[in-house]
């Protein structure tokens, strides 16, 4: 472990199930704050554990965050035969229609079970919960990933899921702050523009994020809100980050961009990284493992320092030294019975 290396304000992906020699050399030199895994990186539990260990070895930090998008439903990077299939967020909101306590219990249990799976692999952050509140007529990119169709349901079940993750030794990442639920385009493919007035956004879209503003990490929305900034999506908008996310919503955790390779963003990868960090993101995320793109991201990156470094340390400080006691077999039986 080299104490001399400066950590870069980025989270990066890798190309396959084992690191190439080029990737090892690049990650050693780049020293990203963390990494993210996708389906292309996953075969078996033993292989994932080895890959996670290899990634951390590159940066010489045993607690370096390794993230994954393991929501359940259509966004689940780990699946059968080695890992269980989990329901989408909406399934929790549809449980036991007149019993909110049961919905909350099962949402927390779902988070705890996800954490059990991830902790066994060394993965210590999950990009869950989705706190977006879908609106009628919006693009289905959120859809059933949302816990409900109103801010109160989303906030209550989102917190329950986050608490389950934290209890199991995994950091939750709330997304997509300050809210993707009104977007009429998929930001993977195009830049969504939301024209709703600020008061409507504040009362509806922003409400779950305000309610979970104590969470350790959040991921931005690549969405233009014309009531905030007519030019730039939240990820690269100083007004959106400083006035809304840090100000009105009171979020002081680690703020990461959504994936810089999504088509909602324009400009070179260096420019995207530069603009996101200049707006007030603490770290930038690049997911696809493309070496040329990662090198360009690094050009626009900067060292993790100042408030960003403080927030990064505070986020990792929320990791329990060991998960709370949990009877996984009984928990899984209760979970499956709830959805039977």
For the annotated catalytic residues, the residue numbers are 188, 258
What three-state secondary structure class fits 10? strand
Residues 107, 167: contact at Cβ < 8 Å?
no
Q: Tokens in use for 124?
A: 């210590």
For the record, the structure tokens of 198 come out as 């600020």
Q: How far apart are CA 171 and CA 173, in angstroms?
A: 7
Q: Two tokens at 331?
A: 């928990």
Within 8 A by CB and 6+ apart from 245, the residues are 177, 178, 209, 218, 220, 234, 251, 255, 280
Question: What does 78-100 look like in DSSP terms, one character per residue?
Answer: S-TTTS-----HHHHHTSSTT-H
Residue 256's SS3 state is strand
What secondary structure letter does DSSP report for 325?
A: P
**β-sheet bridge partners, residue 11:** 34, 285
Bridge partners for 177 per DSSP: 220
125 to each of 116, 179, 321, how far by Cα in Å? 12, 20, 14
List, in sequence order, every residue forming a beta bridge with 220; answer none if it has no partner. Answer: 177
């Amino acid at each position: 472990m080299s104490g001399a290396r400066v950590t870069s304000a980025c989270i990066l992906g890798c190309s396959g199930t084992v690191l190439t020699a080029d990737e090892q050399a690049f990650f050693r030199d780049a020293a990203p704050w963390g990494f993210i895994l996708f389906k292309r990186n996953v075969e078996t539990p033993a292989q994932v554990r080895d890959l996670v260990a290899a990634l951390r070895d590159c940066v010489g930090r045993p607690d370096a965050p390794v993230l994954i998008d393991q929501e359940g439903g259509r966004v689940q990077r780990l699946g059968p035969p080695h890992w269980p299939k989990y329901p989408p967020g909406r399934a929790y909101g549809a449980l036991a229609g007149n019993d909110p306590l049961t919905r909350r219990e099962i949402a927390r249990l779902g988070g705890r079970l996800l954490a059990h799976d991830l902790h066994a692999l060394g993965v210590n952050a999950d990009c869950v919960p989705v706190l977006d509140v879908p609106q009628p007529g919006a693009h289905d990119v959120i859809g059933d990933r949302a816990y409900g169709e109103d801010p109160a349901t989303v906030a209550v079940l989102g917190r329950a899921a986050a608490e389950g993750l934290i209890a199991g030794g995994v950091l939750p990442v709330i997304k997509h702050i300050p809210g993707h639920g009104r977007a009429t385009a998929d930001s993977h493919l195009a830049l969504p523009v939301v024209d709703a007035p600020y008061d409507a956004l504040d009362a509806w879209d922003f409400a779950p994020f305000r309610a979970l503003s104590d969470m350790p990490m959040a991921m931005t929305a690549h969405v233009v809100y014309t009531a905030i900034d007519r030019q730039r999506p939240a990820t690269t908008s100083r007004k959106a980050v400083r006035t809304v996310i840090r100000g009105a919503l009171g979020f002081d955790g680690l703020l990461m961009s959504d994936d810089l390779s999504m088509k909602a963003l324009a400009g070179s990868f260096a420019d995207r990284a530069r603009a996101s960090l200049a707006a007030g993101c603490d770290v930038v995320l690049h997911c696809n493992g493309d070496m040329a793109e990662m090198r360009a991201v690094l050009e626009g990156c900067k060292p993790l320092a100042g408030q960003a470094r403080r927030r990064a340390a505070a986020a990792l400080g929320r990791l329990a030294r060991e998960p709370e006691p949990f009877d996984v077999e009984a928990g899984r039986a209760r979970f499956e019975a709830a959805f039977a």
